[in-house]
A and B are shown apart, each in its own frame.
Chain A
Amino acid sequence: MTHTKFTRSGLVAAGTSTMLVLAACSSGATDETPSGDALSGAVVIDGSSTVAPLTEVAVELFAAVQPDVRISVGVSGTGGGFEKFCNGETDISEASRPIKDEEAQRCADAGIGFVQLGLANDGLAVVVNPENTWAQCLTVEEVSSMWRPDSPVDSWADVRDGFPDEPIALFGPGSDSGTFDFFTDEVNGDSGAIRSDYNDIGEDDSAAILGVSGATGATAFIPLSFVNEAGGQIKAIEIVNDNGDCVAPSLETVLTGEYSPLGRQLFVYPSDVALEKPQVLAFLEYYINNQAEIAELAGFIPLNEDQEAEALERLNSLIDG
């Protein structure tokens, strides 16, 4: 008895505040959802913990539109999520990488059809001063040599033989940032591992851009979306991926997966069986239609128009097929 009571008041509290944000942020967003019918039933989502924050925001906003749909988000990891997904145990699987061939095969063997929907971009760029002519392309190891904990590197000459003896100035976001976590995890191998004497610009990524533009030897890591905004003040350098290719960061290279490991797209995979449930379809349509707002609230790079259109098209292809 008691738990229903306080949960209900919890729901009301969360619901009301969600409404407020909807009214404030996007007046047009809800219009596109099939809000005519009150839906109910469950939607079971599981998978990557990187994607979870994005989906959680979507779930929270959707709950204001369809409060009776019971959506749960688990974090079994991308692989663990696909295992359950191909077992028919979840409706939607989240993934921070594309599905592997053997995972797709297992789903096929189980007769589970699915489609891959990219719902946000997640990437960051290593940027330098435009006057920096030597660093065109770096390996992850070279980037790490500058940033790893207790790194003694203080000159570009220490990074690679042949680089000029130009002092390095490091700018980066603080430990509260998702960018920080992603960068330290991918580059230094451990989320949060970083040298302590870099210039911490907190949450304000534009401060890093200012810093880098002010010194020839400066470098920083910033979310990909900020590179375009900065115009010519800074330049993004290429990063050597697993195939040994130098790849410049861009939405395209993030999308194709070529820009690795600092770029990736966040995916969700609905199954064809699940899409027969109206509440699953409604949720996904809502998710795609409001992806920009959702990505922003969750701190990711929203899809561009083409990506959004493609996601909708893919979703429809699975429904029609």
Chain B
Amino acid sequence: MLGYVVHRLVAAIPTLLGVAILTFLLMRAVPGDVVTSLVGLEANVSPERMAELRRLFGLDLPLHVQFGQWLGAVLQGDFGSSLRTGREVSQDLALRFPVTLQLTLMSLLTALLVAVPLGVLAAIRRGGLVDYFASLFAILGLSVPGFFLALLLILLFALALGWLPPAGFVPFTENPGENLRHMILPALSLGLILAGAVTRILRSSMLEVLSRDYIRTARAKGLSERVVIFRHALRNALIPVVTVIGIQFGSLLGGAVIIEQVFSLPGVGRFALEGINLRDYPVVQGTVLFVATAAVLVNLLVDLLYSLIDPRIRYE
């Protein structure tokens, strides 16, 4: 098990290096740079002065030198500073990652709380009213964009009822209650959409498991329906759900950019987006590398989780 984990971690190094190189090259392939965004239109700066500013930012150095300098610093734990705000990238990531992590966890929790009961009930009462409702819910979840649901939720809970703030953020350490109040709508917007897909997957996976021979055996030896459903069927039906949740976990960690934008949350996605708009290379490179690392770790965790749910799955 430990050998497996170490092996996976070592295997991740080329992946991360590839991500770093790709991000670096893509950012430089995109037209415009930090000097263009710094100067903008209003200051009437001559081309000579623009060239001098590029030199001062070190943008005139050959690409491999720039990349080498950046990677060398990263390997020593220094993600560099934003070219525009002068703030350390690692300091900003430390502020934003908890927000994204909290949003991710709350969204996944919402999705599971809704999807597991709904998916199980739909499978047991196949063709019944609950099943129809679950199908409708799943189709809505799969087809309604998250930002649209977000706007509807804001209209209802913030404007019409006034129960929750429409947008904004309060750090958890400062005021946990306010923090949760601000996170409910974003988590619902992401979670309910995700719940649609999970409900559908769980329902079909349950149906498949329920038709297996060992379920018939379990029923035949007189186990209560509750034990049959939860101990025997659900546990086996959860494997595809874990896969989906794992993939979503990884991608949500990269920041749900649109939801963060709509709810003005200071997450990783908005940080990266601002960095991209300002062509702030250290910010984008640092964020992408950090998120890629987090995604690799989550993938590993999910794989380990499989063996926890199904002991027949072993890693050597």
- Answer yes or no: are A and B bound together in one complex: no
> Which A residues form the contact surface with B (CB < 8 A)?
none
